[in-house]
Amino acid sequence: MREESRSQGTAGGSRSGPPQFRPGRALAHRAGASGSGTPHRSDGRPPHTPRGERRTGPPGRPGTTPPVPGRPAFVCALLLLCGFLLVTWQVAVHGPLAALDERWGRALAGRGPAPLAELGADLGNVPVALPVLAAAAAYAAWRGRRRRALYALVAMALVPALVVPLKVLLDRPGPLTQATGYYPSGHTATALVAYCGAALLVHRRVLLPVAAVLTAATGAGLVLRGYHWPLDVAGSLLLFGGGHLALSSTGRRRSSGRTPRR
């Protein structure tokens, strides 16, 4: 009879008498109530699931979201390519920027130590730069990165394919000669693609600063020796630097779409 009366009093959640206040249960629910910052647990401890350990953003903002791969690099690539278009337009119409560039080029020609400047200019020669890229491509292919090695060699093949038509179209004279066809600088483009491409194939973090220094030394040597105007060097850096960033950001987006990040 005692068990039977207890089951009748609790069945269906209905009781014959008034509801009883239970302080222990009320305090337990109050500790984990909504708005307290500790949902799903009544004792205030963080849950053991990875989702429960995520940190939210600042007040009034959503929580942390995964970064979008390649977006900053793609924006930088667009800015570099827009800069190349601006420089090319100024050279084509002989605008104020081109006139200022020629003034600076005449002032810089012959400055600095001649042996170091000549050595820097020689770094952009094809017999010097191409073997570096070829050795890096062979190493990458041996390590199983044949597609990246092929991309680097194709990028080097694109240097004359893009530079030569622009030289013929713009027909810009050189600083110390009446000969034409100096914009953009083919030596600068060769150095940028060869050394930076080799650094990306072998070891990005260690060798990429070295490649940047070699490319800068090439451009500086060309200007100081009077082989190119400063805008000739800048145009090559903007064109091929922007193209490299655009291709690398596109490749990162494709790879992130195939394999989800953890």
The number of distinct structural domains making up the chain is 1
Rounded mean pLDDT of 216-233? 97
Does residue 42 form part of some domain? no
DSSP state of 53: G
In a domain, 13, yes or no: no
Range of the structural domain that residue 243 is part of = 71-258
Question: 24 in a domain, yes or no?
Answer: no
Q: Tell whether 25 is covered by a domain.
A: no
Q: Is residue 27 part of a domain?
A: no
Where does residue 24 rank: exposed (0-12), middle (13-18), buried (19+ CB within 10 A)? exposed
Global confidence as pTM: 0.70
According to the model, what pLDDT value does residue 104 have? 95
125 within a domain of the structure (yes/no):
yes
- Is residue 202 very low, low, confident or very high in pLDDT (cuts 50, 70, 90)? very high
Is the pLDDT assigned to residue 195 strictly greater than 70?
yes
Residue 124 lies in a domain: yes
Asked if residue 171 is part of any domain, the answer here is yes
* Gap between the Cα atoms of 188 and 246, Å rounded: 19
